[in-house]
């Protein structure tokens, strides 16, 4: 197989794998499995050791196991429904006898070869005092495929079985002669890495636990290497760059004196840290972490003001149109006539004219959405690139913003804290400022966790708040149509509230599937007070400021991460009115109770994030894309930190030798990071 053929094969759609076809292709796509590459990298979530053969006399109740035996008498079938029969077969292995039971469709006769030996896999349960074996699968002992081995257990979706998926993966792997390695022999020896081909095949069909572990380590190393390489690739050459220097930072005091409130000490300190960046030749690269409502916007505004007064331009990027609008209004108000400011989103009219003006330096600051990273947007002398709610952007989107200047200072703002050690590794030379105090006079948002029996009371409470002129949010989790019915979908919720619960109030619905301008319109009318109750999915999670909203109701609160709940709660309590958060939770259990307790007791986002990490682990925390990085399939940023360090070292070596990854030997690495970015946010920075 030549290289081109190899790549084409990897990109072959799943529909062309033996046994799949169009119908099952759709189901595989639901699992994000689109081509042979995806199948190869769809690693099992777990394994079951089915190598050990039990004696029937040793089988224990409740434990999954295998045993080898022959049928003793004829299969019995009892029809339960028209299409379900209970089958039972008495078997014997010389140490004892046991009834094996399973359900089958009576339409398809079960064929048993009496006198032959079978391997049975399943679990023994006691039924009226007698041990019976609940069968998962059986196969002839002289031709086993799924038993007598370490069997992979894959993540599934409706309509896909373990057997189908493992067969499909096996068929996919058979199409590839050898998976080409991104590491050469020397590197593999140095880090004790088995070959890629060996590792992938080992993952799906392990020979033993030790070999499996080696394979897994190799793939973790590779995954972290690719992640690290892509981050470093984006930053390559940055180190040597020199950025214009801001001489006169005294304007920060001028700015401060115009504010209607006094800055908190945390804000002052962070502003000083940003000023330090601006004064240096080396471009600053700073992450500002601060809880929801800690006042991060004014920090960015201060830096923008100082740059503008020194005749340099800034860019300020927000993840949604509504947020960009809000920042625009806000900053315009703070700056008055002192700073020339413009708004650029996809909705902006007369873009070409605006582009021209930006390029001519007629604006000091451009505030906008992703629209500002388009190629047409060029700056005269950009010196500061700010990204708000950084976790909503991909790493390369952020990089693209700062690439609008030869060298410029970078400021990213986030309300979702990540531990410092990790941030340093992920972001390398990133400096971190923490806004660890709230503006004075903030009221605590009273938070209650209730079950359905309080629903009427909760609604009466919402009604009371609306009657006194306030507004409310009601948030539902995202629901996939196949999921259970007791989870409220926003649409159902909306219909019910609008028609039955609050027929005299203005209720609006906002969800992620709507078009951007539609969303913004609805959000705008909520902001203007034309809507009383906004029913929504988590699309309102980030930064929107509606001071008149005082109630946040969250349905199925157990389904959200704590940091996310905290973000949502932060949408209220932004004005002078006392505010409330009502968490509906009908799930019992210790962990849920503990998590809800944290929400009702704590109002500190950092503490909440820490507890969330403790309770749910890093996997969940980072699985929710709170960090703006591609999802990791196999590595764990917390437990695999040593491997990450090794991988980081190797990346730096390679980039030193070949900064643009153009050498033939690095071709596969280059292809992998390119693919990662395309998959992650569909944004190609490589042209
Ligand atoms: P976040 O950190 O969540 O982005 P914002 O920057 O949106 O917070 O600030 C939230 C609100 O607090 C805004 O209305 C802002 O004007 C106000 N604010 C910021 N700093 C202070 C302060 N020092 N004193 C009083 N209010 C402040
Ligand atoms: Mg904000």
Measured in angstroms, how far is the CA atom of residue 420 from the centroid of ligand 2? 21
Pairing of strands 64-71, 118-127: antiparallel
Write the DSSP string, 629-664.
SPPPSS--TTTTHHHHHHHHHHHHHHHHH-TT--SG
Write the DSSP string, 362-414.
--SEEEESGGGGSTT---SSEEEEEESSGGGS-HHHHHHHHTTSSS-EEEEEE
Strand partners, 90: 99
Q: Rounded to whole angstroms, how far apart are CA atoms 293 and 486?
A: 33
| Nearest ligand 1 atom to alpha carbon 570 | 3
Q: What is the pLDDT of residue 133?
A: 96
Q: Which ligand is nearest to the CA of 301?
A: 1
Q: Rounded to whole angstroms, how far apart are CA atoms 45 and 166?
A: 12
Q: Which ligand is nearest to the CA of 288?
A: 1
The structure tokens listed for 444 are 């605590």
Task: Report DSSP state, residue 488.
Answer: P
273: Cβ–Cβ under 8 A, 6 or more apart, which residues?
286, 431, 433
Q: Rounded to whole angstroms, how far apart are CA atoms 353 and 347?
A: 14
Q: What is the pLDDT of residue 82?
A: 87
Q: Rounded to whole angstroms, how far apart are CA atoms 87 and 73?
A: 13
Q: Strand, coil or helix: what is 133?
A: strand
Question: Could you give the percent of the chain with pLDDT greater than 90?
Answer: 60
Torsion angle (degrees, nearest 10) of CA 565, 566, 569, 572: -160
The structure tokens listed for 609 are 């994030």
Answer whether 296 contacts ligand 1 (Cβ < 6 A).
yes
Q: Which ligand is nearest to the CA of 292?
A: 1
Whether the predicted pLDDT of 304 surpasses 70: yes
First-residue to last-residue Cα distance in the chain: 29
Q: Rounded to whole angstroms, how far apart are CA atoms 122 and 273?
A: 62
Answer whether 308 contacts ligand 1 (Cβ < 6 A).
no
| Per-residue confidence band for 507, with pLDDT thresholds at 50, 70 and 90 | very high
617: Cβ–Cβ under 8 A, 6 or more apart, which residues?
638
Answer whether 569 contacts ligand 1 (Cβ < 6 A).
no
Strand partners, 54: 67
Answer whether 417 contacts ligand 1 (Cβ < 6 A).
no
Strand partners, 289: 414, 434
Taking residue 397's Cβ as centre, other Cβ atoms within 10 Å add up to: 21
Answer whether 605 contacts ligand 1 (Cβ < 6 A).
no
| Nearest ligand 1 atom to alpha carbon 267 | 23
Helices (H), 205-296: 209-235, 251-258, 265-279
User: Nearest Cα to 345, choosing from 381, 317, 364?
Assistant: 317
Q: What is the mean pLDDT of residues 161-176?
A: 95
Measured in angstroms, how far is the CA atom of residue 298 from the centroid of ligand 1? 7
8 Å CB contact between 664 and 652 = no
CA 491 to mean position of chain CA atoms: 24
User: Nearest Cα to 199, choosing from 342, 335, 518, 207?
Assistant: 207
8 Å CB contact between 83 and 107 = yes
Q: How far is CA 133 from CA 61, 100, 110, 346, 365, in A?
A: 9, 5, 17, 63, 72
Q: Rounded to whole angstroms, how far apart are CA atoms 444 and 441?
A: 9
Question: Interhelix angle for 209-235 vs 641-657, to 10°?
Answer: 50
Measured in angstroms, how far is the CA atom of residue 196 from the centroid of ligand 2? 44
Measured in angstroms, how far is the CA atom of residue 574 from the centroid of ligand 1? 8
8 Å CB contact between 512 and 478 = yes
The answer to which of 287-291, 450-454, 518-522 has the lowest mean pLDDT is 518-522
Q: What is the pLDDT of residue 486?
A: 55
| Nearest ligand 1 atom to alpha carbon 296 | 2
Q: How far is CA 6 from CA 2, 546, 668, 669, in A?
A: 6, 54, 12, 15
Residue to mutate (ligand 1; options 255, 293, 295, 389; most atoms within 8 A of CB): 295
Strand partners, 125: 132
More confident residue, 623 or 365: 365
Q: What is the pLDDT of residue 617?
A: 59
- Which helix (H) or strand (E) covers residue 457, if one does? helix 455-467
Q: Rounded to whole angstroms, how far apart are CA atoms 258 and 262?
A: 10
More confident residue, 575 or 259: 259
Q: What is the mean pLDDT of residues 149-159?
A: 91
Answer whether 471 contacts ligand 1 (Cβ < 6 A).
no
Answer whether 575 contacts ligand 1 (Cβ < 6 A).
no
Answer whether 297 contacts ligand 1 (Cβ < 6 A).
yes
Q: Rounded to whole angstroms, how far apart are CA atoms 236 and 646?
A: 19
The answer to which of 68-72, 116-120, 251-255, 282-286 has the lowest mean pLDDT is 282-286
Taking residue 615's Cβ as centre, other Cβ atoms within 10 Å add up to: 15
Q: Residue written as tokens 């929504």? A: 536
| Nearest ligand 1 atom to alpha carbon 330 | 16
For all residues of the chain together, what is the average pLDDT? 88
Whether the predicted pLDDT of 682 surpasses 70: no
Check the CA dihedral 261-265-266-272 and report its sign.
positive
Residue to mutate (ligand 1; options 411, 439, 568; most atoms within 8 A of CB): 439
Q: What is the pLDDT of residue 681?
A: 45
The structure tokens listed for 624 are 């929710």
How much is the CA Rg of the chain, to the nearest whole Å? 30
pLDDT tens sequence across 204-240: 999 999 999 999 999 999 999 998 888 888 776 566 6
Q: What is the pLDDT of residue 411?
A: 93
More confident residue, 297 or 241: 297
The answer to which of 471-475, 599-603, 635-639 has the lowest mean pLDDT is 635-639
Q: What is the pLDDT of residue 238?
A: 61
The structure tokens listed for 5 are 């053929």
Q: Rounded to whole angstroms, how far apart are CA atoms 447 and 658?
A: 55
pLDDT tens sequence across 449-498: 999 999 999 999 999 999 999 999 999 887 655 454 456 678 888 999 99
Q: Which ligand is nearest to the CA of 297?
A: 1
The structure tokens listed for 147 are 């038993």
| Per-residue confidence band for 15, with pLDDT thresholds at 50, 70 and 90 | very high
Q: Which ligand is nearest to the CA of 567?
A: 1
Instruction: Phi first, then psi: give them for residue 553, nearest 5 degrees.
Output: -105, 130
Measured in angstroms, how far is the CA atom of residue 292 from the centroid of ligand 2? 7
| Per-residue confidence band for 520, with pLDDT thresholds at 50, 70 and 90 | confident
Q: Rounded to whole angstroms, how far apart are CA atoms 297 and 330?
A: 9
Q: Whose CA is nearest to atom 5 of ligand 1?
A: 295
8 Å CB contact between 497 and 534 = no
Answer whether 295 contacts ligand 1 (Cβ < 6 A).
yes
8 Å CB contact between 109 and 85 = no
CA 373 to mean position of chain CA atoms: 23
Measured in angstroms, how far is the CA atom of residue 301 from the centroid of ligand 1? 11
Cβ-count burial 54-68 (b if 16+ within 10 Å, e if not)? bebeebeeeeebbbb
Strand partners, 140: 118
Answer whether 573 contacts ligand 1 (Cβ < 6 A).
no
| Per-residue confidence band for 429, with pLDDT thresholds at 50, 70 and 90 | low
pLDDT tens sequence across 604-622: 888 888 787 777 655 555 5
CA 394 to mean position of chain CA atoms: 11
User: Nearest Cα to 685, choosing from 660, 666, 663?
Assistant: 660
Q: Which ligand is nearest to the CA of 295?
A: 1
Q: Rounded to whole angstroms, how far apart are CA atoms 368 and 352?
A: 15
What secondary structure, in 3-state letters, does 271-292 show? HHHHHHHHHCCCCCEEEEEECC
Question: Interhelix angle for 562-569 vs 590-601, to 10°?
Answer: 30
8 Å CB contact between 88 and 75 = yes
pLDDT tens sequence across 541-590: 666 788 899 999 999 999 888 888 998 999 998 888 999 999 999 888 88
Cβ-count burial 298-309 (b if 16+ within 10 Å, e if not)? bbbbbbbbbbbb
Measured in angstroms, how far is the CA atom of residue 498 from the centroid of ligand 1? 33
């Amino acid at each position: 197989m030549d290289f081109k053929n190899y790549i084409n094969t990897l990109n072959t759609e799943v529909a062309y794998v033996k046994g799949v076809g169009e119908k099952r292709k759709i189901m595989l796509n639901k699992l994000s499995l689109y081509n042979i590459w995806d199948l190869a990298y769809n690693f099992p979530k777990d394994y079951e050791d089915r190598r050990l053969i039990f004696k029937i006399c040793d089988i224990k109740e409740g434990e999954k196991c295998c045993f080898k035996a022959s049928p003793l008498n004829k299969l019995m079938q009892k029809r339960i429904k028209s299409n379900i029969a209970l089958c039972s077969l008495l078997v014997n292995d010389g140490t004892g006898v046991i009834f094996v039971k399973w359900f089958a469709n009576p339409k398809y006769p079960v064929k048993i070869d009496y006198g032959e030996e079978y391997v049975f896999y399943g679990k023994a349960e006691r039924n009226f005092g007698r041990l019976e074996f609940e069968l998962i699968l059986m196969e002839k002992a002289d031709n086993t495929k799924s038993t007598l081995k370490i069997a992979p257990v894959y993540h599934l979706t409706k309509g896909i079985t373990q057997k189908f998926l493992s067969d499909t993966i096996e068929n996919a792997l058979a199409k590839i002669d050898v998976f080409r390695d991104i590491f050469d022999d020397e590197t593999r020896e140095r880090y004790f890495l088995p070959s890629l081909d060996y590792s992938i095949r080992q993952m799906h069909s392990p020979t033993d636990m030790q070999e499996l572990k080696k394979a897994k380590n190799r793939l973790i190393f590779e995954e972290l290497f690719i992640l690290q390489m892509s981050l470093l690739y984006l930053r390559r050459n940055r180190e040597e760059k020199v950025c214009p220097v801001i001489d006169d930072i005294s304007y920060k005091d001028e700015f401060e004196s115009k504010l209607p409130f006094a800055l908190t000490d945390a804000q002052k300190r962070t502003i000083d840290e940003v000023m330090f960046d601006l004064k240096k030749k080396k471009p600053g690269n700073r992450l500002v972490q601060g809880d929801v409502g800690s006042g991060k916007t004014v920090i960015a505004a201060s830096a923008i003001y100082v740059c503008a007064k020194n005749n340099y331009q800034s860019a300020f990027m927000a993840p949604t149109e509504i947020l960009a609008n809000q920042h625009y209004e806000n900053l315009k108000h703070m700056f008055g006539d002192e700073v020339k400011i413009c708004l650029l989103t996809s909705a902006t009219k007369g873009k070409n004219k605006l582009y021209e003006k930006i390029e001519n330096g007629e604006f000091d600051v451009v505030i906008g959405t992703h629209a500002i990273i388009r190629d047409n947007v060029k700056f005269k002398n950009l010196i500061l690139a700010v990204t708000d709610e950084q976790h909503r952007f991909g790493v390369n989107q952020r990089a693209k913003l700062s690439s609008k200047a030869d060298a410029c200072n970078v400021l990213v703002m986030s309300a979702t804290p990540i531990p410092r050690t990790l941030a340093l590794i992920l972001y390398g030379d990133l400096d971190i400022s923490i806004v660890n105090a709230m503006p004075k006079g903030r009221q605590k948002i009273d938070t209650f966790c209730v079950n359905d029996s309080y629903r009427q009371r909760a609604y009466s409470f919402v009604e009371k708040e609306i009657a006194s002129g306030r507004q409310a949010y009601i948030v539902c989790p995202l629901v996939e149509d196949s999921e259970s019915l007791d989870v409220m979908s926003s649409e159902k919720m909306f219909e019910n509230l609008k028609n039955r619960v609050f027929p005299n109030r203005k209720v609006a619905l906002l969800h992620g599937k709507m078009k951007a301008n539609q969303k913004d319109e609805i959000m705008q009318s909520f902001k203007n007070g034309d809507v009383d109750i906004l029913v929504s999915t988590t699309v309102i999670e980030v930064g929107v400021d509606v001071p008149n909203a005082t109630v946040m109701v969250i349905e199925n609160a157990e389904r959200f991460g704590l940091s996310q709940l905290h973000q949502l709660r932060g949408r209220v309590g932004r004005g002078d009115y006392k505010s409330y958060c009502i968490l509906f939770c009908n799930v019992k259990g210790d962990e849920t109770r503990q998590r809800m307790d944290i929400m009702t007791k704590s109002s500190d986002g950092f503490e909440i994030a820490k507890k969330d990490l403790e309770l749910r682990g890093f996997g969940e925390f980072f699985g929710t894309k709170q960090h703006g990085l591609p999802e990791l399939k196999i590595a764990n940023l917390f437990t695999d930190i040593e491997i990450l360090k090794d991988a980081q070292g190797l990346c730096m070596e390679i980039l030193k030798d070949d900064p643009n990854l153009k050498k033939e030997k690095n071709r596969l690495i280059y292809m992998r990071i390119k693919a990662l970015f395309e998959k992650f946010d569909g944004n190609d920075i490589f042209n």
